[in-house]
Amino acid sequence: MQEHADKRGVQALLDIATTVSEALVKFGTAAARAEDIGLLTAAALRDTYGGEQLYIPKALGLAISDRDREIYSKYDGNNTFALSKEYGLTERQIYICIGRIREEETVKRQMRLFEKDV
């Protein structure tokens, strides 16, 4: 992919292609095929969004770790000290984990007032 890097203005697309390629290799796709798919993905994004400003959200739900979900499932309202010892975190960090999951759960349950049905 780096042979394309000398062209101006393509670094973000190359980063996307590399990210896709590396993920595919982790899941067992042959490196050459993964690179082709990565470049095709970047090209599709370029064709779809080229020339536009594109905001990529942090996607809180994707960022929440399995560990945080496990902590949330074990949390009973009175066991932050025990959870902090079990996971090697501070009690404050436990509360932050709980808060992230609660926020995600609240967003899932609440109705959207101004969005049209999809």
| Residues 6 or more apart whose Cβ sits within 8 Å of residue 10 | 4
Q: Determine whether 109 is exposed, middle or buried from the number of CB atoms within 10 Å of its CB (0-12, 13-18, 19+).
A: exposed
For the chain, residues classed under CATH 1.10.10.60 are 60-109
Q: What superfamily does domain 60-109 belong to in CATH?
A: Homeodomain-like (1.10.10.60)
* Longest CA–CA separation in the chain, Å: 58
Q: Digits of tens for pLDDT over the chain (118 positions)?
A: 555 555 655 788 899 999 999 999 999 999 999 999 999 999 999 999 888 887 777 665 566 778 899 999 999 999 999 999 999 999 999 999 999 899 888 887 877 666 665 4
pTM: 0.49
